[in-house]
Amino acid sequence: MASILDSVNQRTQMVGQNRLELLLFKLAGKQRFGINVFKVREVLPCPKLTAMPHRNRLVRGVAHIRGQAISIIDLSMATGGPEITDIQNRFIIIAEYNRTVQGFLVGGVDRIININWEEILPPPKGTGRDAYLTAVTEIDKELVEIIDVERILADITPVNTDISEEVANQPINVAKENLTILITDDSAVARGQIKRALQSLEIPMEIKKNGKEALDWLKEKAQEVDGDVHPHVPVLVSDVEMPVMDGYTLTAEIKADPKLAGVHVILHTSLSGVFNQAMVKKVGADDFIAKFHPDELATAVKKWLNAEADVNIE
């Protein structure tokens, strides 16, 4: 099953074109789910798991893979479903999120599909599971659900969103009046984490759920101010993976519009690696930060706010 990912490294050209590839899988029933291929290291038959004392009930055990001990999370239980049974005949998806490696126990793995982000939509409300979803799409006339992994990881290991006293005391050398920091992320958990990490800056934040919402808001702001937006919205903190329009495409659209191009874009994502650094340069983003470290995020935002002060002095 690991061979299903053999050609991942040859597919990076699609990113930045508002496209992605999803690895489709099932949990304890017929419903299909998806995960971005670029977060997946490998897919393996479930190995023998070692039980750990006092572990979270969602963690079925620890697997020792290539010299590394990896916690294996039952993705069905984590989304409110039943426990996955007969695990010796199931699979684990080894993935990297937010600077850590996890294994997700799944019932079965289907295939990889290539899709446009415009075909990925926000989850419908009132489904009961929508709290654990970031998006949905339709494949073969069936609904495919994309799980909010950041929500699941936060449930198991809550993230500290407090910034240190040292970072909090770093000065902001720009007048805060009439400024807005724009934030866009499809994960409700991530949006909350970012907001709490930046609240000490005492600058209003505008929160959006995907790249298109953020771009539309910026264009409306440009019309409102009748010109350059960045004196009013100096910084955008954007996720990369989002329905409708991803962060790479959002960045490219901003940098191509003279009225928006001055906005400093910080790509803030659970994706990591050299590949993403290359994409940052390609689309013209100003910064790239792997989730989630509140001090790094707050420091980057302050850096670009103070860059505005330096320009004004010159």
Token pair listed for 45: 């038959």
What is the band of 128 on the pLDDT scale with cuts at 50, 70, 90? low
Mean pLDDT of the chain: 87
pLDDT at 266 over 70: yes
Count Cα neighbours of 39 within 13 Å in the Cβ-side half-sphere: 29
Bridge partners (DSSP) of residue 104 are: 73, 93
**Sign, CA torsion 64/52/160/182:** positive
Burial class from Cβ neighbours inside 10 Å (0-12, 13-18, 19+) for residue 54 reads exposed
> What is residue 13's predicted lDDT score, i.e. its pLDDT?
54
Whether residue 10 has pLDDT greater than 50: no
- CATH 3.40.50.920 is right for the domain spanning 165-312: no
Other CB atoms within 10 Å distance of the CB of residue 10: 7
pLDDT, tens digit, for every residue of 198-238? 999 999 999 999 999 999 999 999 999 999 999 999 999 99
Can you tell me whether residue 128 is helix, strand or coil?
A: coil
Could you tell me the pLDDT band of residue 130, with boundaries at 50, 70 and 90?
low
Superfamily of domain 4-156: CheA-289, Domain 4 (2.40.50.180)
SS3 222: helix
CA distance 24 to 266: 30
CA distance 29 to 56: 23
Give me the sign of the Cα torsion angle 169, 175, 180, 184. Answer: negative
- Is 50 exceeded by the pLDDT of residue 2? no
> Which residues of the chain are in CATH 2.40.50.180 domains?
4-156
Residue pLDDT, tens place only, 146-176:
988 888 988 898 888 899 999 999 999 888 8
Q: What is the DSSP string of 38-90?
A: GGEEEEEE----B--TT--TTEEEEEEETTEEEEEEEHHHHTT-PPPP-GGGS
